[in-house]
Structures are given as C-alpha cells and as structure tokens.
Structure 1
Amino acid sequence: MAKLNVAIVGTGIFATKAHLPTLQKSEYFTPYSCFNRTKAKAEEFAKKDSSIQKVYNSLEEVFEDPEVDLVDALLPAQFTVDALKLAVKHKKNIALEKPLAANIEQAKEFVKISRENPDVTVFILEHWSYFKAVEQIKRAVSKIGKAYSFTYHSTGPFNFDNAYLSTSWRQKPEHIGGFLSDGGVHQLALLTGVLGEVKTVSAHTRQIREQSGADDIAYALLETEAGQIGTFTYGSAFGNTEKSCFFEILGDNGSVHFDFSPGKDRVITLRTGGLTADTPKNTETITIQDEFLSTDREFEVLGEALTTKDKSKVITTPEVCFHHLSIVDAILRSSKNNGSPEQVIKP
C-alpha cells in the first residue's frame, strides 16, 4: 500500500516532538513537505527527515500541490477557518490541531463549511478522545445502575519550564480562555466521551499567572443532557502542590473512580452494590495498559479512514470538537456573569 503524502503546516515544537515522529513510523503516512510563515524554520525542519522533499513559500502553495494527500495543520486557533477554506477550495483532506477555532462564531463557521463539503475529510486532532480509558470507563459505568453525579478534577502546579509558554499565540491568546480551551478541550473530550453532551454550566474562573495570558483556573457545576449533575475543576497554575487528576461517577448501584494522575498507573476502581440493602457489594480494579498518550492512535484512525473510506472510527468530527469548545465558552460566559447558569451553544 502506497503511503499518503503529508504536508506539515507549522513546524514548531509540537510538530517536531509529536507529529513528525508519529508520521515517520506510520504505516499510512509519510512526511512529504512542510511550510512555516518563517521559511528558514521550515527549511530547518525539513532537514529532520530525508523524505521531506519540498518547502513552500506560501500557505496556498501547500494546498495547490497535487502530490499532497493530507495537510497536517498545526496553526494557532484563529487561523483554522482560513486553512479549512483553502482545503475546500483545493479539495484537500485536512487535519487540524485543537481547539478547532478561536471562538464560538469562528467555530460555527468552521462546522458550517465542513458540513457543506462532505467530500473533504476534516479531522480534529484531540487525541484524548481516543483514549482506551473512555470505553473502559463507559463499560464500568454501565454496571453501577443509574448514574446521577460526577466529579472531574484536574489540578496541579504551574510549570515554569513549559516550552509552550514562549510561543506568542499562548502568551497573548486569541482563542477563548487561553490554556482553559487549549488544554480544557482534552479534559472535556474525556468527560463527554463517557457521559455525553453537557447542557448547562455555572462557573467561576480566575487568572493566577500572568504568563497564561488569560484566566487559567475554572471551577464549574455542569448538567449533562442525560441529567447527571457534577463538577468540573481544571487548572495547573497553582503553587507547590501534587498534580491530581481523577474522574468519579456515582450511581444508585455503585461508583466508578478513574485516577489518571501522572507518575502512576492509570486505574479504574469499579464498586458495585448498594441498590438495595441486599445487593451484593464488590470492588474491581482495572489497570489501563499502554494508554494512547501520544498522537499515534489518532493518526492511525485517520489513516484507516482515508485508506478504506470508512469513517466509523473517527470520533473527533468538527461537531464533536465544537461541543468541547462550546463548554469552555459557557464556562467563561458564566464566570463573566458571576456564575449564572449558561446554556452550552450548539453549532
């Protein structure tokens, strides 16, 4: 099977550390060309792999190239709609890093364009959507009766050595919420992947670090479309503290607790029983082996979809990723309105 030629747009840190290694070992793709607004950076990137044959002078050139099968666009969120328009104009499949747009109006336009052009494959790179944990937690939740509530908690210390702090688009974010949307959509992909869509939000946000460029912690009360109520706590901007990440779902016949704190095994604890006084109580521990923490799995799914023309395994559609960004938007709107309940906007 001939591999698909990929043009990499945006040759910065994540392209170097994540995308290029994934493409180099992929059975579906090969890095073929690249582009950066600063051409010298693209030329330096091209030296990292001998299969990279071209460096373009403009973004339009990328999409005009008949040898390109997929454009892998690592762009600041405010430029994704423009890239999608070029993909549609030149009938090129495109993969875009999250979040899918800088704000809800842009995201609506993004979804509209995508819907109107089904012949162009549009794939959003939110790799948490492809975690093994999502399906395993869902199976566990099916055993605890009716799920009524949840707690989603992801907090930690501020990382002064974060390489991405030096990038201008994160220092002065044009995407809503800065890190709250940039990283928050990952967290919400896990939450909604298990429990489904969120309907309403009541939240407060604050900015702790000047380096974040915007509010960087969020504390929210959510109600899902299925009727569960729960909390979403997110932010890694604190002082000295332990990084703590867990997701707990409570039902009338048990509970599911998922610990995904770094530095330890990712473990699901399933407790069943309690529906009645006589219901047997049991505890089961499920350790998730070899979780898909890199970008490998999402590119594998995309490669299968493009090669077989079967998109059934594609989770990260524009509509799904719109919802993740829309929850962040509702969190920010609620905080601005002193915690008032806000509806999560649909595309």
Structure 2
Amino acid sequence: MRKIRLGIVGCGIAAKELHWPILKELRDKFEITAVNSRTRKHAEEFAKLVGSPEIFDTYEELLDSGVIEAVDLTIPIELNVQFTEKAILKNIHVICEKPISTDVETGKILVNLAKQTDKVIYIAENWRHIKKYYKVKEVLSKIGKPLYFNWKIWIGMDRNNKYAQTEWRKTPKHIGGFLSDGGVHHVAAMRLIFGDIKWVSAITKKHASFLGGPDFLEAVFEFENQVVGNYTVSYAIKSEETFEVIGTIGKIKLEGNKIIVNDEIIEVEENMGYKEEFEDFYEIILGVRKNELGSPEEALKDLAFFEAALKSNGDRIDLTSLL
C-alpha cells in the first residue's frame, strides 16, 4: 500500500488530540514527514510525539521542501484560505480543519479553487462520517413522512475549557465565534439526514463574557424537502441534549448512540469520524473515489447556515442568496 507523505501545519489541540491518534492507526496510509507550527517549540514537541519528521520554521519552507505530497492544516480559521491556496500553487493536496473560512464570501475562493485544480482540497468535517446520523437517515421511513426536527444542544463551556482558552478563539475573526466554529458540525449532521436547507430565521445572544462572539443561537428553518427544523445551541449554558424527529406515523429520538424509533431501540457503534475522513482523503488522492464528503462546496453550505442566522435578527434569510 502506497503511503502519502504528509506535513502537519499547526501543532495545537486538533493536531495532537484529534488527528495524531488516528494518523498513528493509519501508518499504512500516511507517513508524517514534516511539521510546522507558529512556534518552533510547538513543532519540536509534536515532532517528538510522532517520530522524526523534518521541522520547518516557515510554512513556505515546508511547501518547497520536496518531502511532502499533502498537508494537514490545523490552524486558525482566518488562515485556511491563504494556506490552502499556497499549497495548491505548489501542487500539494490539502486536508483542512473546518469551518472552510471566516465567512461565505472568502469560502467561495476555495470552492472555485477546487474546481480549477486536480489536487484535492478536503475540508475535514468529521461529523459527516458519524455512523449514528446515517442510521437516523436510514430509519426515517419508519415514521412515515418526516415533518419536524428539533435539536437542542447545551454545551456549557467554563473559563477553563481548552478551546475557550485558545487565543484566536477569544477574539474570533470568523463569523459567530463558537456558533460557527462548533456549529458547522451540527449543520453537517442535519444536512446529512435531511438534505439542503432552504431558509433560516434566528436570534443570537451572548451570555458568557469569556467566550468570543455570541454564544447562544435559536433558529427556525426549513429544509428543501419541507421538513421544518428547530435548532438551539448554547456554549455558555449546560443542560440535557434533545434530538427528535416527528413524522406522520411516529417519532425518532437520539440519545447518545441509542436511536429510539417508536418502540424500537437501535444501538449504533460509536465513532467520531476522524479515521473515516482521513481514509476518505487517502482514497480521493489515489483516485479511488470522488470528493463528496469533504468538498469545499458542502463545507460552504454548512457555514452559510450561520451567516444567514447571524444576519437574520428574526427575519427569514434564503440561503441561496448567500451561496
């Protein structure tokens, strides 16, 4: 099996805690040959963790080194577009952490770039690979025609939360702060189940001073298939999560990895999707499959939900007006 020579750019939380444990499992597919981070100390720490990759003081040196075929970008969101553009200009494949960019308009740059290059631009949305959401989609027919979807997520971060402590998240340049940063996961899962979203009406609030940007969102929206959705998320308030779908002849509830369909209980294997997204990226590079789950176009639709919600102020915003 051919190994892809991979450079890691940005050696923070995502690289250490989310990507490296999976790349360690996928050593038959990826070899980490280079690292670069904002400080050399972070790069050296990560290099020691993963083996003996070359350490580069600048991103440009890494791209010109000749020791990589692809880069894994785990960097502040505002750098996604320019770092991806530089890699593509050097004929290097890219897997980049979500959201695609700070806003829809700049995100379109990567959508257009992906159409112009034969190199892969993969936006790493791991929730598009989580099995329980595919299972919910699979069992929808058991409740007749789906009519209404309700998802309430109460995350409740405190001041010591490692993500809340990230400097670039304290003063976010991306729209909505945590609402879009974490929320694109939720929209990816919703769209996986029900398809594209037609319009959004929402209000936002800020409850915690230590979280950058607004931290509460209440949204009503409609999918293209006419299912009406209600999505509530708070990064400041902690409570029980609710996920339910109401149909003409029944109801689906999701509790952890347990799906309750009317009176039937279905247990689903737990996965977080990181392994699956890197396997997908690998096969796309090799030409085995098309880039569907990691496409910039899909990632842009996820982000557009939040741009519409933030512009809404209770009015109805058509997502096609942004895309």
TM-score (norm 2): 0.95
Which residue does the alignment assign to 1:263? none
C-alpha distance in 2 between matches for 1:326 and 1:156: 22
Instruction: Give, in whole Å, the separation in 1 of the partners of 2:46 and 2:215.
Output: 32
Partner of 2:268: 288
2: CA distance between counterparts of 1:51 and 1:311? Answer: 31
Report the counterpart of residue 241 of structure 2 in structure 1: 245
Structure 2: distance between partners of 1:157 and 1:84: 33
Larger radius of gyration: 1
Among candidates 254, 258, 262, match of residue 267 of structure 1: 258
| Structure 1 residues 124 and 231: alpha-carbon distance in aligned structure 2, compared to 1, 3 A threshold | same
Rounded to whole Å, the distance in 1 between the matches of 2:208 and 2:273 is 27
Q: Tell me what 1:340 maps to.
A: 315
AA partner of residue 35 (structure 1):
N
Aligned pairs for 1:99-138 (under 5 A) are 99-117=99-117, 119-138=118-137
Q: 1:173: Cα distance to partner?
A: 0.3
Instruction: Between 225-234 and 250-259, report the one with greater CA deviation.
Output: 250-259
In structure 1, distance between residues paired with 2:70 and 2:291? 18
The amino acid that maps onto 2:16 is: T
1:3 paired with 2:21, answer no
The one-letter amino acid of 2:51's match is S
CA distance in 1, matches of 2:291, 2:174: 28
Q: Aligned-pair RMSD on alpha carbons?
A: 1.5
Q: How far has the Cα of 1:138 moved from its partner?
A: 0.7
Q: Which amino acid aligns with 2:278?
A: F
SS at match of 1:208: coil
Query: Of residues 280, 284, 295 in structure 2, which corresponds to 1:305?
Result: 284
Equivalent pairs, count: 321
Query: Could you tell me how far apart the structure 2 residues matched to 1:90 and 1:157 are?
Result: 42
Report how far residue 110 of structure 1 moved.
Answer: 1.7
Counterpart amino acid of 1:288?
V
Aligned partners of 1:302 and 1:314 also within 8 Å: no
8 Å Cα contact 2:5-2:32 kept in structure 1? yes
Instruction: Spell out, residue by residue over 1:131-154, the C-alpha distance to the aligned partner (whole angstroms, 9 max, x if none).
Output: 001210011112222111111111
SS of structure 2 residue aligned to 1:136 = helix
Correspondence for 1:277? none
Question: CA 1:313–1:107 in structure 2 vs 1: closer, same or farther (change >3 Å)?
Answer: closer
1:132-211 aligned within 5 A:
132-211=131-210
CA contact (8 A) 1:258 1:267 kept: yes
Question: Which deviations, in whole Å up to 9, do the C-alpha atoms of 1:275-311 show, x marking residues without a partner?
Answer: xxxxxxxx2111112x22262221122223223x122
What SS does the corresponding residue of 2:214 show, helix, strand or coil? Answer: coil
* TM-score, length-scaled by structure 1: 0.88
The alpha-carbon deviation at position 9 of structure 1 amounts to: 0.2
How far does the alpha carbon of each residue in 1:141-197 deviate from its partner, in whole angstroms, 9 at most, with x for none?
Answer: 122221111111111323333112221110000010000011000011111110111
The match for 2:299 among 317, 321, 341 is 321
- TM-aligned CA deviation for residue 67 of structure 1: 2.3
| CA deviation map 1:241-291 (0-9, x unaligned) | 43x22321111122211123xxxxx111112xxxxxxxxxxx2111112x2
C-alpha contact (below 8 Å) 2:159/2:165 kept by paired residues: no
Contact 1:73–1:94 (Cα < 8 Å) also in 2: yes
* 1:157 partner SS: coil
C-alpha contact (below 8 Å) 2:88/2:94 kept by paired residues: no
CA distance in 1, matches of 2:242, 2:299: 22
Which deviations, in whole Å up to 9, do the C-alpha atoms of 1:104-129 show, x marking residues without a partner? 11111121111222x01011111011
Counterpart mapping for 1:214-225 below 5 A: 214-225=213-224
